[in-house]
Amino acid sequence: MPDARRSATESEIAALSSAVRLRIIRLTHVDALTNAELAARLGRDPATTLHHVRRLVANGFLAAQPARRGARGSREIPYRSTGLSWSLDGAGDHEPVAEAGLEAFLGEVADVGPAALEQTRLVLRLPPARVAALRAELDELLERYVAEPVVPGAEPLAVYLALYPGDPPGETDRTAAPGTWDTRKQDD
């Protein structure tokens, strides 16, 4: 994984502006997968998937691994995520990347089904300094887990975190009491 955070280039932003490419990055985080394996997991045509793989390789998001023999003796090239997408500052601030991230999340949730989710929703009313502190604490927490080494055979877990305005569009009453809605699974 790259060590230092830096601003994303325009080419990197364009590469990340695709839900399919974001899903490929996630799928190859632990296990190196071939184009055929990626196409099968995504339910896509292998030629289209190869286009996305090549774009990710060209921008440093995927790295080709040593070739291996396929089921029929063919030469296959597996690809693994480099971790570059996590080390780029500001990429998610671009609307096409943000839209692709949401679309990738929705596709992944559709694949596993809503019953597999552990969800929590919370509405807060915080002064700007506390909002900044919350963001910093969340960033620190995620960075701590990202820094852990990938262990083969460990439980795969994906995290999608979104902070968004808590009031519906057009609502201006900022004096209402805070509300919460907790959908965490309860033990029976």
Domain span at residue 14?
6-116
Query: What pLDDT sits at residue 87?
Result: 87
- Whether 77 is in a domain gets the answer yes
Q: Environment class of residue 66 by beta-carbon count within 10 Å: exposed (0-12), middle (13-18) or buried (19+)? A: exposed
- Whether 17 is in a domain gets the answer yes
Other Cβ atoms less than 10 A from the Cβ of 43: the count is: 9
Q: What is the pTM of this model?
A: 0.81
In angstroms, rounded to a whole number, what is the distance separating the alpha carbons of residues 81 and 87?
Answer: 12
| Mean pLDDT score across all residues of the chain | 86
- Whether 132 is in a domain gets the answer no
Query: What pLDDT sits at residue 154?
Result: 84
Query: What pLDDT sits at residue 153?
Result: 83
- Whether 184 is in a domain gets the answer no
Query: What pLDDT sits at residue 38?
Result: 97
- Whether 134 is in a domain gets the answer no
- Whether 127 is in a domain gets the answer no
Residues of the chain with pLDDT under 70: 1-3, 171-188
Instruction: Kindly report the CATH number assigned to the domain that includes residue 106.
Output: 1.10.10.10
In angstroms, rounded to a whole number, what is the distance separating the alpha carbons of residues 45 and 50?
Answer: 9
Query: What pLDDT sits at residue 5?
Result: 81
- Whether 154 is in a domain gets the answer no
- Whether 150 is in a domain gets the answer no
List, for residues 40-72, the tens digit of each pLDDT value: 999 999 999 999 999 999 999 999 999 998 878
Q: Give how many domains the chain has, as a whole number.
A: 1
Question: What residues are paired with 84 via a beta bridge?
Answer: none
